[in-house]
Amino acid sequence: MSIEIHKLGRVDYLPTYEAMQAFTAARTPETPDVLWICEHPAVYTQGLAGKPEHIFNPANIPVVQTNRGGQVTYHGPGQVVAYPLIDLKRAGYFIKEYVYRIEEAVIRTLAAFGVTGHRVAGAPGIYVRLGDPGSHAMLAQRPAKKGSEPLRFAAGSDPNFEGLGKIAALGLKVSRNCTYHGMALNVAMDLEPFSRINPCGYAQLQTVDLSTIGVSVGWTEAADVLSHKLASYLAP
C-alpha cells in the first residue's frame, strides 16, 4: 500500500497537531497511510522531555506543549515540515527502523542538492559540516554497531557538535503502532528564533538551513523532493 502525499500549504501548528491526533485516534487497520507536507507560522514546540529553561526568550512567538518525544524546537516559514501518519504494524518495521528510514530520506534529499547529511550518535536528526557541506568524510561520532569501533566521546556526555550545524530535526509519537508528529527540514528561514532556545536541549548546537550553506532552492522544490523520498523510504 503506497503512502498518500497531502500538501497542506502554510497552516497553523496547533490545529494541525490536533488533526493528527484525531486522525490517529479514528484510524482503522484499513485506513491508508498519509504524509502531510506543510509549513508553519513561527512557533516553538516543546516535547515531553522539554525543560522550560531551554527557552530563554520566546518574545512574541507562541510556545505549544506537545506529546511528541524530544525537547524544544522552532518551526517557521521557509522550513518544510513532514508528518508521516503510518501504521507501523502494517508497514512491517519498528520505531528504530522508522527513525532510520526518515533520516535516510532526509540524507537522500540533501544529496539531491549536493549536500552530505550526517547522523550523530545519541542526537537524532541530520547534521552538515559547516566548513564543507558536500564532504563525504565520515564523522568520528557517527552511530556504530555494537562491537564495532568505539565512538569518540565519553559515554553519558553530550555529543560534540563542533563544526556541525543541524539542518533537520525529528520529533515523533507512536500510538497503537501508528505514528504522528514527524520531522522538519530547514530550507531558507529566518534562523534568529533558534538563538532564543537550546535546540533539542543542546546549548552548543548551531542550526542551519540550505540557504546558509550556499544552496539556493525554493520551498516547493525542496518539499517535492523530500515528500517523494519519504514516501519511498517509508513504504512497507
Domain ranges within the chain, ordered by starting residue = 4-233
> Which percentage of the chain shows pLDDT scores above 90?
78
Report field, pTM of the whole predicted structure over 0.85: yes
Per-position DSSP letters for 11-23, written without gaps between them = --HHHHHHHHHHH
HSE toward the beta carbon, residue 161, CA cutoff 13 A: 22
How far is 27 from 153, CA to CA, in rounded Å? Answer: 43
What is the DSSP secondary-structure string of 53-64? Answer: GGBS--TTS-EE
Residue of 164, 172, 191, 200 marked active site:
200
pLDDT confidence of residue 145: 59
pLDDT at 90: 96
Is 38 a catalytic site residue? no
206: number of Cβ within 10 Å: 18
Q: What is the pLDDT of residue 155?
A: 44
Per residue in 161-200, pLDDT (tens digit) is 889 999 999 999 999 999 999 999 999 999 999 999 988 8
Cβ-defined contacts of 46-53 (< 8 Å, 24+): 46/71, 46/72, 47/71, 47/72, 47/73, 47/171, 49/201, 50/201, 51/201
Of the candidates 7, 41, 181, the one whose C-alpha atom is nearest the C-alpha of residue 99 is 181
Residue 154, helix vs strand vs coil: coil
Q: What tens digit of pLDDT does each residue of 5-33 get?
A: 999 999 999 999 999 999 999 999 999 99
pLDDT band of 154, cuts 50, 70, 90: very low
pLDDT tens digit sequence for 106-126? 999 999 999 999 999 888 999
Q: Are 51 and 21 in contact (CB under 8 A)?
A: no
Domain spanning 4-233: CATH superfamily: Bira Bifunctional Protein; Domain 2 (3.30.930.10)
Q: What is the pLDDT of residue 85?
A: 98
